[in-house]
Structure 1
Amino acid sequence: MLDIPSSVSVDVEALLAAQNHMGVCDAIEQYAPVGKPDAMTTPHFPKVAGIDSTVPPPAHTVAPASPAPPSSPGAPGAPGAPGALIQDRLAGWVSDLTTLHELTERLARTAVMDDALHEVLRAGAALVGARRGLVVLEPADGLGPDTTVGLGLARADLGHIETVPRGATSYGKILDRTDGTGEPEVHADLLSEDGLDPRHREVAARLGYAASFALPLATEAAGRLGAAVWLYDEPAEPVERQRHLVGLYTRYATEHLARLLELERARTKSRTIAEELLPPRLPRVAGVQLAARRRTGPRGGGDWYDALPLPEGALGLTVGSVTGSGASAVAAMGRLRASLRAYAVMEGEDPVAVLSDLELLLRLTEPARSATALFAYCEPALRKIVLAGAGHSPPLVIGERRTEFVETSLSAPLGMLACWEAPSVELSPEPGETVLLYTDGLLHRTGDPMDRAFARLHAAAAGVPRTIRDDPGAIADHVLHTVLPDGLDAADSNEDVVLLAARFE
């Protein structure tokens, strides 16, 4: 990251001794602001031993010693003085490299865009010696996402800053450039500047910042992604060394943010496609209330649910899961769900026939995949359900007098046998009882063995409060949050979760 000429030749023992005296400031570990370095009092030598004298001197220079006699070894004209200067500079460069390595390592461990933006702000604040800042993410291609993240600024503070005309802000000037690159925007004494926008002056005085330093988040490979601004409480600006370090860091950070941006866009597209393949709303059928909940992983998965009105007031309910994840699993899920709907319309009163047809279709069109599925043919007026499952977990009946799993016949998943067929079972729910259909992801996300996961699910269903038993949506939420507490239902996981609740009146 720092350009050190390859022609430098240094005594190894001398370099190690210089490093031992150098150390790495513990304040960097805690993102403490970096203060301005003391002025370097050592004479500025011309290019020595291949070292470019134009490189900004590091802050880790040795304190000047009292003048020595010309004949002493430490005198400026003595033979050892240039070597000491080289060792001092190299020690400073090693310290800077160590600092950048630690900060970029922290950034590389972030896997979510929001976390990465906060990390960029904290690291940049430490490098330039600021306390507050904000980063504006606004990709030049216009595809988003557009967002603003603050460091030491509340949401209301960001709202005040956004009331300043865009062309008067540091980030606005950077983002309005043709390519978003170029020199940083520096305002060393903001409130004393002539021609400062009145609204900008008012907001700066209200929030208590007197100077700012802004850099574009842009590279030739990634293009322009946004701009980062750091705010000082008093008139100040980073010195040349600090600008050099934060410039190196932001170039690396931009490449990392570009990778996260591409990943987030792919995840968003996958989620959108999966949502479009599922029913946008559940049908209204007399005698039954329906509710569904779905949680998907970052890559998108193949779990589905569906509720289909059938002739003569009947209703078809189904949940299922296709193996795999990502776009291919989502596409396979869409094809299977569409096919199942067609089979349900033609022969929905016989769930075994519906799943047998789906098995044949899967073997012919998706030979490398398997799937689990459950289909239930419901007659709400009679409170009668006929269902069959293929490698799927049994439904759960939740009522005032009972909470029990439906005893379904064991069978292999679709695509695992040359011909699938298992007997169906008949169920008659009582008035006010809810039948809960779910996919295996609900059990797998617990991390428990299957017997304990089933026990946890049963306990959660049995503990549904009486006050919400009339609402299938509230029942599904209670079960979901009880089986997967502490945010497990919303955490990134390779396991999708689907719940479909049907309450019979």
Structure 2
Amino acid sequence: MLDIPSSVRVDVETLLAAQNHMGVCDAIEQYAPVGKPDAMTAPHFPKVAGIDSTVPPPAHTVAPASPAPAPPSSAGAPGAPGALIQDRLAGWVSDLTTLHELTERLARTAVMDDALHEVLRAGAALVGARRGLVVLEPADGLGPDTTVGLGLARADLGHIETVPRGATSYGRILDRPDATGEPEVHADLLSEDGLDPRHREVAARLGYAASFALPLATEAAGRLGAAVWLYDEPAEPVERQRHLVGLYTRYATEHLARLLELERARTKSRTIAEELLPPRLPRVAGVQLAARRRTGPRGGGDWYDALPLPEGALGLAVGSVTGSGASAVAAMGRLRASLRAYAVMEGEDPVAVLSDLELLLRLTEPARSATALFAYCEPALRKIVLAGAGHSPPLVIGERRTEFVETSLSAPLGMLACWEAPSVEFSPEPGETVLLYTDGLLHRTGDPMDRAFARLHAAAAGVPRTIRDDPGAIADHVLHTVLPDGLDAADSDEDVVLLAARFE
């Protein structure tokens, strides 16, 4: 045992053996220094080539040569072994810090596409590459299947996909019977014997000469896909780089598995909600219809409906059920189906329709409330009779006016022992559009309700004349104007529904 008179007390032979027989991160965890090392002023071995969490990797992607070993110190030279140990410890701590920063950035991603791009960027920095691609193809076959590139355009990915699957690195990884496995390393693709001619052609066309591929798989998550990084010149990552990127991809796989489960749940919720809404809007003479819907990540209870009624009439409805998630979606489906039945029986009296709906809600779901608006339209006469329960008033958009319909103030369904409010009758002019919407459109703005209503009115008044004949274009304009900068597509607990009816 060498007696080192510093705060670092380590068995030198054991530490060097640990470096050669285990990963740097495992070794640093087992042989961490007892106290804080003294100032490390000696020259350090280079960190892993290509690692820089704040600076993009260099364009030249040839893997650097391994650092030359330090010359052996002369016997009895004081402090030389201690300085060597401190240098190696400093390098390991630097690697751990880099991994921590990269995994922290990955943990902040909340959607699959962002996470896949972050995996590519981090992996490229760790192995010293400039380009790459991730192929997401879960082994359970439930999808989603997608390919994301780094430094590769969609056309470049298309060229790579023309290579026979068995000749590509990611194809061999994904076709393995086991979930995990060794990386696929091709240090000099163009000089390899037996390289598929199409692969050689694509590599030359895109300008890459080497590749390093890893499976995105763990025992717990199974196989999710494969990641491939491409070098511009013949190269391959050194052992230290392979170890670090292996640690990173194992963590990344677990994170991607969580996002995959969340995305599948959201997809199921959206599919169920869409199936409970009208698959298409009816065609009724004298009126054009368009609908737009935005739902949050958990799915909500906002809905719309348009159904043809006897004698050429048309029923229009929008509403919102309290809560979110699967229970709200199911309640929305039951409420909409009940309203359709009441509308067929007594649609010409919107107050009676909502009264029956309120009674049903109070008896069957006493713990839930809902807002609703039902309009009985006679397109041939351009006559509308409507009633609302706690719902925002419709908006009439035309060449000469943009105004809210004056409706009576009423509580939502399920809030009172007996609901009833007077109906309102009005007549839109030829070419005017009546816009029905849910409160989510106003709540997503983040403004107080008076400002949100003013923003909605201004958006409707600013509809360009060139699109006033298209109710779908009017709905899109209002949606994107009231909710700019992607607020209409961002994840939110508030659903948004717009139903536009243009009268001829």
TM-score by length of 1: 0.86
Corresponding residue number in structure 2 for 1:287: 286
Task: Name which of structure 1's ranges 80-89 and 493-502 shifts more when overlaid on structure 2.
Answer: 80-89
Q: Deviations over 1:202-255 (max 9, x none)?
A: 111111111110000000000000000011111111111100000000000000
Contact residue 71 and residue 78 of structure 1 kept, 8 A: no
Structure 1: distance between partners of 2:241 and 2:70: 38
CA distance 1:475–1:213, shift in 2 (3 Å): same
SS of residue in 2 equivalent to 1:25: helix
Structure 1: distance between partners of 2:54 and 2:481: 63
Structure 2: distance between partners of 1:154 and 1:20: 41
Contact residue 181 and residue 216 of structure 1 kept, 8 A: yes
CA distance 1:463–1:40, shift in 2 (3 Å): closer
SS of residue in 2 equivalent to 1:382: coil
Instruction: Indicate whether 1:455 and 2:478 are aligned.
Output: no
Structure 2: distance between partners of 1:285 and 1:53: 60
User: What is the CA-CA distance between 1:84 and the residue it aligns to?
Assistant: 3.4
Identical aligned pairs, as a percentage? 97
Structure 2 counterparts to residues 46-85 of structure 1, below 5 A: 75-77=74-76, 80-85=79-84
SS of residue in 1 equivalent to 2:451: helix
Task: Name which of structure 1's ranges 380-389 and 120-129 shifts more when overlaid on structure 2.
Answer: 380-389
Corresponding residue number in structure 2 for 1:214: 213
Task: Name which of structure 1's ranges 53-62 and 390-399 shifts more when overlaid on structure 2.
Answer: 53-62
Task: Name which of structure 1's ranges 483-492 and 51-60 shifts more when overlaid on structure 2.
Answer: 51-60
User: What is the CA-CA distance between 1:388 and the residue it aligns to?
Assistant: 0.5
User: What is the CA-CA distance between 1:33 and the residue it aligns to?
Assistant: 29
CA distance 1:322–1:57, shift in 2 (3 Å): closer
User: What is the CA-CA distance between 1:25 and the residue it aligns to?
Assistant: 18
CA distance 1:413–1:62, shift in 2 (3 Å): closer
Contact residue 301 and residue 495 of structure 1 kept, 8 A: yes
SS of residue in 1 equivalent to 2:24: coil
CA distance 1:36–1:140, shift in 2 (3 Å): farther
CA distance 1:55–1:464, shift in 2 (3 Å): closer
Structure 1: distance between partners of 2:386 and 2:2: 68
Structure 2: distance between partners of 1:264 and 1:146: 12
Contact residue 209 and residue 232 of structure 2 kept, 8 A: yes
Q: Deviations over 1:174-219 (max 9, x none)?
A: 0000024110000011111111111111111111111110000000
Contact residue 214 and residue 228 of structure 1 kept, 8 A: yes
Structure 2: distance between partners of 1:260 and 1:167: 28
Contact residue 361 and residue 414 of structure 2 kept, 8 A: yes
Corresponding residue number in structure 2 for 1:44: 44
User: What is the CA-CA distance between 1:466 and the residue it aligns to?
Assistant: 2.0
Structure 2: distance between partners of 1:287 and 1:53: 62
Task: Name which of structure 1's ranges 39-48 and 164-173 shifts more when overlaid on structure 2.
Answer: 39-48
Structure 2: distance between partners of 1:229 and 1:272: 33
CA distance 1:350–1:12, shift in 2 (3 Å): farther
Cα RMSD after superposing both structures = 8.4
CA distance 1:92–1:59, shift in 2 (3 Å): farther
Contact residue 301 and residue 495 of structure 2 kept, 8 A: yes
Structure 1: distance between partners of 2:65 and 2:197: 50
Q: Deviations over 1:402-453 (max 9, x none)?
A: 1111110001111111111111111111222211100011111111111111
Unpaired stretches in structure 2, ≥5 consecutive residues: none
Corresponding residue number in structure 1 for 2:17: 17
User: What is the CA-CA distance between 1:83 and the residue it aligns to?
Assistant: 3.5
Structure 1: distance between partners of 2:131 and 2:382: 63
Unpaired stretches in structure 1, ≥5 consecutive residues: none
Contact residue 63 and residue 238 of structure 2 kept, 8 A: no
Q: Deviations over 1:338-361 (max 9, x none)?
A: 111111111111111111111111
Corresponding residue number in structure 1 for 2:138: 139
Contact residue 74 and residue 80 of structure 1 kept, 8 A: no
User: What is the CA-CA distance between 1:40 and the residue it aligns to?
Assistant: 18
Q: Deviations over 1:291-325 (max 9, x none)?
A: 11111122211110000111111111100011111
User: What is the CA-CA distance between 1:48 and the residue it aligns to?
Assistant: 24
CA distance 1:19–1:341, shift in 2 (3 Å): same
Q: Deviations over 1:371-400 (max 9, x none)?
A: 110001111122111111011000011122
Structure 1: distance between partners of 2:326 and 2:265: 9
Structure 2: distance between partners of 1:192 and 1:427: 79
Contact residue 4 and residue 79 of structure 2 kept, 8 A: no
Contact residue 323 and residue 371 of structure 1 kept, 8 A: yes
Q: Deviations over 1:118-155 (max 9, x none)?
A: 10000001111111111100000001111111111111
Task: Name which of structure 1's ranges 87-96 and 25-34 shifts more when overlaid on structure 2.
Answer: 25-34
Task: Name which of structure 1's ranges 371-380 and 37-46 shifts more when overlaid on structure 2.
Answer: 37-46
Structure 2: distance between partners of 1:53 and 1:393: 50
Contact residue 4 and residue 51 of structure 1 kept, 8 A: no
CA distance 1:411–1:43, shift in 2 (3 Å): closer
User: What is the CA-CA distance between 1:173 and the residue it aligns to?
Assistant: 0.5
User: What is the CA-CA distance between 1:19 and the residue it aligns to?
Assistant: 18
User: What is the CA-CA distance between 1:477 and the residue it aligns to?
Assistant: 1.5
| Runs of 4+ residues over 6 Å off in structure 1 | 1-8, 11-68, 70-74
User: What is the CA-CA distance between 1:85 and the residue it aligns to?
Assistant: 3.4
Contact residue 33 and residue 126 of structure 1 kept, 8 A: no
Contact residue 216 and residue 226 of structure 1 kept, 8 A: yes
Contact residue 47 and residue 53 of structure 1 kept, 8 A: no
